[in-house]
Amino acid sequence: MEVLLRDVTHPQEGHKYQEGLTHLQELIHSKHDLTTEEILKRANENVDIETGNMQTVVKDDNITLCLWANFSKNPRFKGLNFEEVGLGFELPKHLAVSNIAVRILHTRYDHLSLLARMAHLRIHTLSHRSLVGSEDIPADKDAPEQVETEGEGEVKEADEIQQQRVDEEVQSIQGFEGQKSAASLQSNSAQPAEGQGSHIQTQMEALGAEEDLTPPSVQLTVVDHGAQVVDLMQYTPLGGVLFYDVFHLPPQAHHVNGWEIRQLLDNGLQVFSHPMEKSNLDDNEGLTCPPVGMSVTLPDSVVFLEAPHVARWDAAGKQWRMDGITDISYEEEEAKISFKTDSFQAFVLMQETYANLPLQSWELRPLGQDSALFSVNGALINLSVSIQGNQCMLQSEQERGLSHLIGKWMSGPALQRAMLNAGINIFVNEYTDKYVSTCSKDPLIEHAAYEQMALFASACAFSWSKWNAKCGAEHLVMQVCEHHGPAPVPKDSWSLYLLGAQRSHKLEITEMSEAFSPNHYPDSEFHSTFIHVLQENMSTDGIARTRESNYLFVDTVQNLLCATRPLMYS
């Protein structure tokens, strides 16, 4: 359904697919509640002898369901930790003596963040200026219904159709879970007309185009009425959603003379009111209701580079918020986080999207014909991506959270999506410069450099240079040398090169020089392109390697460089 929705071009067809997707989301939600109710109806048949209560765990690849039914009503009961899944809760006294059941539902997917994006997105009608000419090209990459039209009235009508679809979708799934990825509810836009040529935005998003990985060209407008509303561009939810709920314990069956007698309720599960009304509280509890405690062991499928942020779901505003959560405690060695809150609700663990940027250094070196290794030292974690033909493989010393990725070959777009889902982000998009400091560079020169680096990636090694930040926006500086074989590049083999729009040349200075100088290396020549400068001192074998490079390898390397933009974000 997501694939059909992503590829649709007709508004009516898209609306039909959205309705189908919404119905599936509603079905998932209702199944969870029905399953919970059926288990709790027979809770008294599975009471633990030691505690006098019922506790059980149901787990599969998509969800973890933890249930606790309170039969003993012990006022000294503080809470329970489901050791096998690393989830737990703490209860105040008035809940410990109440006829309640607690449910912890951990979904590996995140439907609620999608709902938040849909509720607050507004489609951009601005255009991005093409970098190869003066013509405008559509910026609405993920808005299929905003098709190319000739009249202003038709464009306005397309905008109205898009806004109507967004409003209808938000209204239809209110109160239910969303779907896995916000990007998947928007399709690819109509392509630029013939003759417009490629532009930097398209190339920078090349890795994610097929999988619809890049954020849609939308403006997220969130009204903050004093609450700590989460900016979903700045923070990324990881590891799925944690639903903490408390229900009235359903009537239990009684067995009399071989008969099972049960009171049947037509309204299904009933949510237990917490915080309770002030009139229902004991006098000694005052005017405030004691908070409830939650504890979570971090999922083993994601990496948190820093202490996780905890956000709660605001159903009324359809947004994530960080207020109302207190006493946050993070135990890094045990990978466990605990916190307190006033009420049972849905929570998510978040990480700053660009925590690993800007890159501290990077290197792209050949391992053989049509094989290379792209290594980056990020702000918080170091990693490498091996490239063989059109396949990529992640390598990292970090094992926790990445065991399902390390050492596995996959396509470039698939690897990027898997890394983002695992909390490892070295990729940039149109919003990154709002959150990360950069080396401001001319995008045309930068893009041309990535193209030429990819062409020579089988024979030359390229690396970060500190002088790239000192040479101005109109030039690029990097270390380069011819290199064959999988061995590391010797430190004394590097040379510095200056790249510009009109000409490129080898520099006289080295990485250890005291100051930057644009003077060219003695007896070297200026050339109009970077690759011609490199060929000046390359061996015959090295030049032959570049001529024999497979186009799939060149394309994969170029897409990886364009997705990470190391010449600007390091």
How far apart, in whole angstroms, are the C-alpha atoms of residue 110 and residue 233?
15
Q: Are residues 519 and 423 in the same domain?
A: yes
Q: Which of 352, 378, 402 is the last residue of a domain?
A: 352
Residue 53 covered by a domain:
yes
Per the domain annotation, does 433 fall within a domain?
yes
Assigned domain for 442 exists: yes
Q: Are residues 365 and 341 in the same domain?
A: no
- State whether 464 and 553 are in the same domain: yes
The pLDDT, as a whole number, for residue 298 is: 95
Q: What is the dihedral of CA 61, 63, 64, 66, to 10 degrees?
A: -150
What is the pLDDT confidence band of residue 11, given thresholds at 50, 70 and 90? Answer: confident
Do 479 and 407 fall into the same domain? yes
> Is residue 17 in a domain?
no
Q: How far is CA 178 from CA 22, 66, 181, 268, 318, in A?
A: 8, 21, 9, 22, 11
CATH number of residue 339's parent domain: 2.60.220
* Domain interval for residue 174: 112-220
| Euclidean distance between the first and the last CA atom of the chain, given in angstroms as a whole number | 39
Q: Would you place residue 8 in the very low, low, confident or very high pLDDT band (cuts 50, 70, 90)?
A: confident
Quickly state the pLDDT bin for 227 (edges 50, 70, 90).
Answer: low
DSSP-based helix, strand, coil % in the chain, nearest 5? 25, 25, 45
Q: Choose the final residue of a domain: 162, 186, 220.
A: 220
What pLDDT digit, counting tens, does each position of 18-62 carry? 778 778 877 898 899 999 999 999 999 999 999 999 999 999 999
3-class SS of residue 389: coil
Report the C-alpha gap between 171 and 55 in whole angstroms.
36
pLDDT of residue 164: 55
Q: What angle do CA 86, 89, 94 make, to 5 degrees?
A: 165
Please write down the long-range contacts of 459-462, taking CB distance under 8 Å and 24 or more positions apart: 459/366, 459/483, 459/484, 459/538, 459/542, 459/543, 459/545, 459/546, 460/366, 460/534, 460/538, 460/542, 460/546, 461/363, 461/364, 461/365, 461/366, 461/489, 462/363, 462/364, 462/365
Q: Are residues 299 and 371 in the same domain?
A: no
Residues 6+ apart with CB under 8 A from 153: none
User: What is the reported pLDDT for 200?
Assistant: 40
Give the full edge-to-edge strand order of the sheet including 346-352: 54-59, 63-69, 100-107, 235-248, 346-352, 309-314, 319-321
How many angstroms separate the CA atoms of 100 and 332, rounded? 33
Q: Does the residue 348 lie in any domain? A: yes
**Which pTM was predicted?**
0.77
Please check whether residue 331 is in contact with residue 337, taking contact to mean a CB–CB distance below 8 angstroms. Answer: yes
- Is 385 inside a domain boundary? yes
pLDDT in tens, 251-294: 998 889 889 898 888 888 899 988 765 444 444 444 467 899 99
**pLDDT tens per residue across span 447-505:** 999 999 999 999 999 999 999 999 999 999 999 999 998 999 998 999 999 999 999 99
Mean pLDDT, range 62-77, rounded to an integer: 95
Residue 371 resides in a domain = yes
69 plus 144 within the same structural domain: no
Please indicate, yes or no, whether residues 391 and 506 belong to a single structural domain of this protein: yes
Reported as type and span, the H/E element at residue 193 is none
Together in a domain, 499 and 365: yes
In the prediction, which pLDDT does 204 show? Answer: 40
Q: What are the DSSP E strand ranges found in 232-287?
A: 235-248, 254-256, 259-261
Both 329 and 431 in one domain: the answer is no
CA distance 169 to 240: 22
- Mean pLDDT across 532-558: 94
State the pLDDT at residue 276.
61
225 located within any domain: no
- Do 366 and 486 share a structural domain? yes
**Alpha carbon 310 to chain centroid, angstroms:** 16
pLDDT grade, residue 77 (50/70/90)?
very high
How many Cα atoms are found within 13 Å in the side-chain-facing hemisphere of 166? 25
pLDDT tens-digit map of 314-372 = 989 889 999 999 999 999 999 999 999 999 999 999 999 999 999 999 999 999 999 99
Domain-ending residue, one of 171, 187, 220: 220
Handedness of CA 446, 452, 455, 459 (dihedral sign): negative
- pLDDT-derived band at 402 (thresholds 50, 70, 90) equals very high
Residue 433: the pLDDT is: 92
416 shares a domain with 467 = yes
Is there a single domain that holds both residue 183 and residue 330?
no
Amino acid 422: pLDDT: 95
Domains of the chain: total:
3
Instruction: Find out whether 237 and 113 touch, Cβ atoms under 8 Å.
Output: yes
